[in-house]
A and B are shown apart, each in its own frame.
Chain A
Amino acid sequence: MIRKDELLKIFSIRLRTLLSKTLLDFELLQEIRLRVDAPLLIKYDNVEYFMDMEGVLTQKVADAFIISKAEIKETMEYISNYSLYAFEEEVRQGFITIMGGHRIGIAGKVILEEGKIKSMKYISFINIRLSHQVKGCADVVLPYIFRDEGIYHTLIISPPGCGKTTLLRDVIRQLSNGTGINGKGTYHKGVQVGVVDERSEIAACYMGKPQNELGIRTDVLDCCPKAAGMMLLIRSMSPAVIAVDEIGLGEDIEAIHYAIGCGCKMVATVHGGSIDEVKDKPLLGDLVKKRVFERYIILSNRGRVGKVEEIYDERGTRLYLS
């Protein structure tokens, strides 16, 4: 459930007033895009709209509310809690996660140091992607993840914006709490889950406290690089399952091998449209070819966000088709 007042306070006063006037259902709000001297764009229930001066959605660009430079500057001040320095690493990566787990993508003039991105200034483009916790969205996939003893190593494959983090979050919650406890569905005992939440998107920790429900047996390592975090969790919290979002770097792959070698089960997500696409990725492809993951869940936003299209096993046998 999105807390409207909490979300609105990151906007400049003018935008705050405009958005508070709107009668939109914030649960269907997916994206708010601000660009200097460009119209305010809203992605609502999978459709893109402009917003007019009265907070009403429109398809006419001529009626759209135009974002000024001052609007962006003021909004950035609130997004960063008046402390852009506290988000140096996030700015370098191009996004900031705020209370509630919403991800703010930013773009502007990049400052380089020895060829590497050091910081960003003149931030002129902001994309606010709203995080939604959808409890129960993993119900479809859980029967394919569970095995007699524990779970299968699982990789969720999805293009951006198709709900892979939302699905991962619910998988974590249900693995951690256990299922069928109240006699509903198949009984599975809850397991210790360790989450490395590099971008604070899964748990959306605010001052150390998860804002999203991740289950009673879940430990969260917030803002920690995935590879280092996985090692740390194995040493410190002995999880049965490790969950990470958006793997891809070489060090992530190494850490996955290490975690699996330590007897942990992996649940991870990756950008992609199909298993073949992931197979073609230089580092991740090896994991697929070596059959490290035993379940592949393919998502799309066909019809609705987070639609589970197909589930495959490690040999490429299709177990589920929507």
Chain B
Amino acid sequence: MLLIKILGCMLIIGSSTGMGFLFGSEIKKRIEDLKSAKTFAILLSGDIRYAKTALPEALSNVARRHEGRLRPFLKRVAKELDSYSGTSLYEIWKRAVKEELTGTALTAKDKENLLRLGESLGNLDKDTQVVTIEWYIAQVEEDMKAVSADAKEKIKLYRSLGVLAGIFVVVLII
């Protein structure tokens, strides 16, 4: 009986510690995804600024050079734009944000910024395009800064909380 109790306690503490580590790793993953978003925006801005490349080709170029978790999203938008499917750019962009970013740790706010970028892409002159992308890069940088500033403490906190929560539950049960 005692052995079962000990095993149960270990399981509770183990799983709550795991949860703590998982939350911690989500922060790391979000930073990686934000970096990835920044890289894609810089590459896209370069293609538009210096080569005036049309969006389907520019996004396809960026997707080829990109190795982050945003790649499926970029590939899908490029492919759909290239197919002249009869759907507006924003609709294609919105659907891809919704369906292709599920594997990332981007938050609702990050996705909202990405949507706002998609809203302004395509129609205006080159300078406005570049300014819009730069605005997006600035937003991403700001978010990265905010997340990174207390990332270490937060990761530590989540991990400790995980362990402590497990111990707390065990104490309550015993």
A77, B122: Cβ atoms under 8 Å?
Answer: yes
A10 / chain B contacts, CB cutoff of 8 Å: 84
A85 to B53, CA, bound (A): 9
Q: Is B55 an interface residue (CB 8 A)?
A: yes
The answer to whether B126 and A85 have CB atoms under 8 Å apart is yes
State how many angstroms separate the Cβ of A76 from the closest Cβ of chain B. 9
Cα distance, A85 to B86, chains bound together (Å)? 20
A91 to chain B, nearest CB (A): 9
For the complex formed, measure the closest distance between the CB of B46 and the CB atoms of chain A, giving whole angstroms: 14
B157 contacts the other chain (Cβ, under 8 Å)? no
Asked if A84 and B84 make an inter-chain contact with CB atoms under 8 angstroms apart, the answer reads: no
Q: Which residues does chain B contribute within 8 Å of A80, judged by CB atoms?
A: 54, 122
Number of residues on chain A facing chain B (CB within 8 A): 18
Any B CB within 8 A of the CB of A83: yes
Q: A77-B122, A81-B81 are in contact. Are A86 and B89 (CB under 8 A)?
A: no
Contact B84 A86 (CB under 8 A): no
Q: Which residues of B contact A82 (CB under 8 A)?
A: 54-56, 81, 89, 121-122
Whether B84 pairs with A85 at a CB distance below 8 angstroms is: no
Q: List 27 A-B contacts (CB under 8 A).
A: A10-B84, A12-B86, A74-B86, A74-B88, A77-B89, A77-B123, A80-B54, A81-B54, A81-B55, A81-B56, A82-B55, A82-B89, A83-B58, A84-B122, A84-B125, A85-B122, A85-B123, A85-B124, A85-B125, A85-B128, A85-B129, A86-B48, A86-B53, A86-B54, A86-B126, A119-B125, A207-B57
Q: Which residues of B contact A (CB under 8 A)?
A: 48, 52-58, 81, 84, 86, 88-89, 121-126, 128-129
Measuring CB to CB, which residues of chain A are less than 8 angstroms from any residue of chain B? 9-10, 12-13, 16, 74, 77-78, 80-86, 88, 119, 207
